[in-house]
Amino acid sequence: MQLAAMARTAGIPLSNPRIIARTGWTTGDLAGALDAENPQGPFGLVSLLIGVNNQYRGMPLEDYRIGCESLLRRAIELAGGRPDRVLVLSIPDWGASFYGLRYDPGTIAKEIDAFNGENQALAIAYGTRYVDVTPVSRAAAGDESMFASDGLHPSGLMYSAWAELAVSRLGSSRKY
């Protein structure tokens, strides 16, 4: 919602989004929801941020790559075959959250980087726009204002920082 509002302020005419994904989902969960909901495009902009729960659950990187690529192809289809209308966001580093600090933040960061290497490579290969929100999540370590009350999920303030990055990637192209 913040991204759409910021885009409109920047002169990019986007309506409010249709949000399908839910907290806690893996690539497989999102694929299943897309099958069930069967959204019909074309949409002016499709965003994809998926994979943190693949990593958290210890799922293989190769499974993530396969699932992410399938979802990326679907996102492009939903954007009317226009990869320039697809925004892939990196996976935030939950190891920097208050919850994540109870685990091994170094290992989490390495695994998140590997997953993000896959989603970035796919975004580039398919010609979509890529937004790296991971540094924002890492810079938020120790800042309670950047996390929800559960100490794990992003707060509205962190989402706002991500939305600002995303709008900047949309650039001067106003063809949405």
What are the mean pLDDT values of the chain's consecutive 10-residue runs (176 residues total)?
91 90 95 96 94 97 98 98 96 96 95 98 97 97 95 95 93 55
Hey, what are 156's tokens?
A: 């509205």
Single-letter amino acid, residue 124: I
The pLDDT value given to residue 14: 87
Residue boundaries of the structural domains of the chain = 2-170
Q: What's the burial of 2, exposed, middle or buried (CB within 10 Å: 0-12/13-18/19+)?
A: middle
The pLDDT score that the predictor gives to residue 111 is 98
Q: List, in sequence order, the alpha helices (H) in the chain.
A: 2-9, 27-37, 52-56, 61-78, 105-126, 134-139, 156-170
What pLDDT is stored for residue 12 in this prediction?
86
Quote the crossing angle between the two packed helices 61-78 and 105-126, to the nearest 10°: 40
CA–CA distance, 140 with 97 (Å, rounded to integer): 8
Strand, coil or helix: what is 173? Answer: coil
pLDDT of 175 reads 56
The per-residue pLDDT for 41 is 87
**How far, in Å, CA of 80 to CA of 74, rounded?**
10
Homologous superfamily of 2-170? SGNH hydrolase (3.40.50.1110)
Q: Which residues contact 125 (CB under 8 A, 6 or more apart)?
A: none
